[in-house]
Amino acid sequence: MKQRRDRKVVTEPTRIGLAGLDQGPIERTLRLEAPGEQLGELPLAFERVDLEVEIRRASRDGVRVRGRLAARTTVACRRCLAPTRAEVVTEWDVMFRPPARVTPGEEGVWALEAKAGELDLAGPVREELWVHAPAWVECSAECPGMCPSCGARLADESCDCPPPGPDPRWEALEDLGG
Ligand SMILES: [Zn+2]
Ligand SMILES: [Zn+2]
């Protein structure tokens, strides 16, 4: 199979071999088809995560990784439960250093043994997704939600239920928010 020299697409990613790093940057385009299995627990059930990364030697024993990430999924609108696309697109820039040179709590720095033959992107990618995933997903900012009595989606259905309280929309929110 013919492949372009330094833009391989692989299906078993997150671990990237570092052979050749001292001769120049390593670039990879990766797709995670099962992010929940490959990255551990995530804030949303992402269907897939696309990554572009560039790895370069940053010092004698440090490695800098810059990446672009796009993650997609479909989840229920928080108000009306309609299937709604959710997306995280972000750029990141982290350092890998030998464990002895990683200060606990230092942001954007990950441990990597000086002689390691590969590095694992799972940690930084998982962190990016947790930081940037939306706390909730709504089909639109104006979504009127559902009728709390009959469950009609009020954006495209109407119903004859009498309003059960002062503002049925707030009750619908409370019902959904649990
Ligand atoms: Zn909605
Ligand atoms: Zn109703």
Q: How far apart are CA 94 and CA 124, in angstroms?
A: 8
Find the ligand nearest to 144 CA.
1
**From the CA of 146, how far away is ligand 2's center (Å)?**
8
**From the CA of 175, how far away is ligand 2's center (Å)?**
14
pLDDT of residue 10: 45
**How many CB atoms are closer than 10 A to CB 39?**
21
**From the CA of 162, how far away is ligand 2's center (Å)?**
8
* Burial per residue of 95-127, b for 16 or more beta-carbon CB atoms within 10 angstroms, e otherwise: bbbeeeeeeeeeeebbebeeeeeebebbbbbbb
**From the CA of 173, how far away is ligand 2's center (Å)?**
15
Strand, helix or coil for residue 125: helix
pLDDT of residue 86: 94
pLDDT of residue 1: 47
**From the CA of 77, how far away is ligand 1's center (Å)?**
5
Under a CB-based contact definition with an 8 Å cutoff, are residues 84 and 77 in contact? yes
Q: Where are the domains of the chain?
A: 9-132, 144-178
**From the CA of 147, how far away is ligand 2's center (Å)?**
5
pLDDT string in tens for the chain (178-residue length) = 444 445 444 445 799 999 999 899 999 999 999 998 889 899 999 999 999 999 999 987 899 999 999 999 999 999 999 999 999 999 999 999 999 999 888 889 999 998 889 999 999 999 999 999 998 899 999 999 999 889 899 888 888 898 766 666 666 677 666 5
Find the ligand nearest to 159 CA.
2
pLDDT of residue 155: 86
Helix (H), strand (E) at residue 35: helix 35-39
pLDDT of residue 165: 63
**From the CA of 170, how far away is ligand 1's center (Å)?**
14
**From the CA of 78, how far away is ligand 1's center (Å)?**
7
* Cβ neighbours for 16, distance < 8 A, ≥ 6 positions apart: 26, 28, 53, 55, 118, 119, 120, 121
For 12, counting Cβ atoms within 10 Å of its Cβ (0-12 exposed, 13-18 middle, 19+ buried), the class is exposed
Tell me the DSSP string of 67-115: EEEEEEEEEE-TTT--EEEEEEEEEEEEEEE-GGGPPTT-TTEEE--TT
pLDDT of residue 76: 93
